[in-house]
């Protein structure tokens, strides 16, 4: 058997759904949600159709960066169980096709976002795509255990872009929304890395669990969770939030810190004994944590017509 | 009777081609919709060329 036969794609025609899968629809849904919240809480008004187009182009841009990431990471995606069914390792889409889709949609989304809204929003989208595809995927992911920390910025830009679509600028509120996702990403992924341990090891991706061990990862997870709390609660004192957001943020962060503290207290023997129950629960809660924070930001615009919700 | 029998490739790619057609039609709709919105809301239409036009700059007192 020759070496080339290992990487040879299976025969079969790529369907539209395979190309759609290149865009990482699940990540895209989070991008749409956070960008939409950034847009809805921003001061000022925008025509609903332009708002719809703005969010659509942000989603397409995020999808394009996902396609570029899959093109670059096809070799390690083949190794990791979690990613083996992606379109390229599954042999449904060729790497060149994925690259073409990623580049075409990147240009398309940035140019149309510029034409539909403004240069700052388009510039932020272009930088986000560059950051995820080049800075994170190509430079950081395989070279440093800080990959998740710095790379998390790519996922944190969408609410800032949503804000810029309406206002055309960057402000304290949009920076804090960015900071919540940026600080949330490391504990979220490190919890995943703790219980998906063989995947990253096998692929040689220098996750903190691989390079510095599980004890250090547990320490880092707790520290980042503690640093996240003041950012998330601090947003509650700005003009876009109100007492309802603040109450929800305090409750969510108390719970999140409790979960991180429990992870920190455990050692590997305890974690393996209950099949990483605490780490898995923390990971699931982390998704809810982000969703509820951004959902709580919508309370104020929803109650504003009745003169309630804000400070 | 058909002039020629469809190649097997046409059959395999039918779903993909239809989906692509739907996406392209949606794109036309979006660009048309954006044009209508920009025109009807009176937004500047000359903002994206390379020359700063004096009449595009808001004047004080206007």
- Looking at A131, A148, A170, the residue that finishes a domain is A170
Do A31 and A162 fall within a single domain? yes
Print the domain residue range for A86.
1-170
* A270 and A296 together in one domain: yes
Cβ of B48 and A115 within 8 Å? yes
Domain co-membership, A179 together with A296: yes
List of chain A residues whose C-beta atoms are within 8 Å of the C-beta of residue B16: 13-16
pLDDT mean over B31-60: 75
Does A145 share its domain with A191? no
**B34 to A13: CB separation less than 8 angstroms, yes or no:** no
Give the Cα separation of A9 and A215 in Å (integer): 40
Please name the residue of chain B whose CA is at the shortest distance from the CA of residue A54: B34
Whether the CB-CB separation of A182 and A175 falls below 8 Å is answered with no
pLDDT in tens, A79-110: 988 899 999 999 999 999 999 999 999 999 99
Q: What span, in angstroms and rounded, lies between the C-alpha atoms of A30 and A296? A: 15
Select the more confidently predicted residue: B11 or A218.
A218
Q: Which residue has the tokens 């794609």?
A: A9
How do residues A171-211 score in pLDDT, each as one tens digit?
A: 999 999 999 999 999 999 999 989 887 777 788 888 888 88
Say which CATH number the domain at A110 has. Answer: 1.10.357.140
Q: Which of A128, A149, A170 is the last residue of a domain?
A: A170
The complex scores an ipTM of 0.79
Task: Tally the domains of chain A.
Answer: 2
**A9 and A80 belong to one structural domain:** yes
pLDDT band at A9 (very low <50, low <70, confident <90, very high): very low
* Distance of residue B1 Cα from the nearest chain A Cα, in angstroms: 28
Whether residues A106 and A236 share a domain: the answer is: no
pLDDT at A7 over 60: no
Please, how many CA atoms are within 13 Å of residue A209, restricted to the half-sphere of its CB?
23
pLDDT at B62 over 80: no
A264 with A126, same domain: the answer is: no
Question: Would you say residue B25 has pLDDT above 90?
Answer: yes
Q: Are residues A180 and A206 in the same domain?
A: yes
For residue A122, what is the enclosing H or E element?
helix A119-130
State which of A147, A170, A193 marks the end of a domain: A170
Which of A193, A204, A147, A172 is closest to A286 using CA atoms? A193
Average per-residue pLDDT for chain A? 92
- Whether the pLDDT of residue A12 is over 70: the answer is no
Confidence check: pLDDT of B45 > 70: no
Q: Tell me: do A27 and A111 sit in the same domain.
A: yes
pLDDT of residue B20: 93
């Amino acid at each position: 058997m020759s070496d080339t036969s290992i990487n040879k794609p299976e025969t079969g025609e790529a369907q539209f759904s395979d190309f759609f899968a290149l865009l990482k629809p699940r990540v895209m849904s989070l991008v749409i949600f956070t960008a939409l919240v950034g847009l809805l809480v921003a001061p000022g008004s925008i025509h609903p159709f332009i708002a719809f187009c703005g969010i659509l182009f942000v989603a397409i841009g995020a999808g394009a960066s996902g396609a570029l990431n899959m093109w670059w990471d096809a070799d390690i995606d083949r190794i990791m169980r979690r990613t083996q069914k992606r379109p390229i390792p599954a042999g449904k889409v060729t790497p060149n096709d994925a690259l073409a889709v990623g580049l075409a949609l990147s240009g398309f989304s940035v140019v149309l976002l510029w034409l539909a809204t403004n240069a700052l929003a388009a510039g932020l989208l272009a930088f986000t795509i560059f950051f995820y595809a080049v800075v994170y995927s190509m430079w950081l992911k395989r070279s440093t255990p800080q990959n998740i920390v710095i790379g998390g910025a790519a996922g944190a830009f969408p609410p800032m872009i949503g804000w810029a679509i309406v206002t055309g600028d960057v402000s304290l509120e949009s920076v804090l929304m960015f900071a919540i996702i940026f600080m949330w990403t490391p504990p979220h992924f490190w919890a995943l890395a703790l219980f998906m341990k063989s995947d990253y090891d096998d692929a040689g991706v220098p996750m903190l669990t691989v390079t510095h061990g599980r004890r250090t990862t547990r320490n880092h997870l707790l520290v980042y969770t503690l640093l996240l709390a003041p950012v998330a609660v601090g947003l509650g004192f700005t003009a876009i939030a109100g007492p309802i957001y603040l109450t929800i943020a305090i409750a969510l962060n108390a719970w999140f810190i409790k979960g991180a503290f429990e992870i920190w207290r455990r050692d590997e023997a305890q974690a393996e004994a209950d099949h990483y129950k605490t780490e898995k629960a923390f990971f699931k809660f982390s998704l809810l944590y982000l969703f509820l924070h951004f959902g709580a930001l919508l309370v104020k615009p929803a109650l504003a017509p009745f003169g309630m919700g804000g400070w | 009777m058909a002039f020629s029998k469809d190649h097997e490739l046409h059959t395999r790619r039918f779903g993909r081609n239809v989906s692509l057609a739907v996406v392209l039609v949606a794109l036309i709709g979006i660009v048309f919709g954006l044009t209508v919105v920009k025109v009807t809301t009176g937004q500047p239409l000359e903002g994206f060329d390379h020359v700063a036009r004096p009449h595009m700059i808001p004047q004080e007192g206007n």
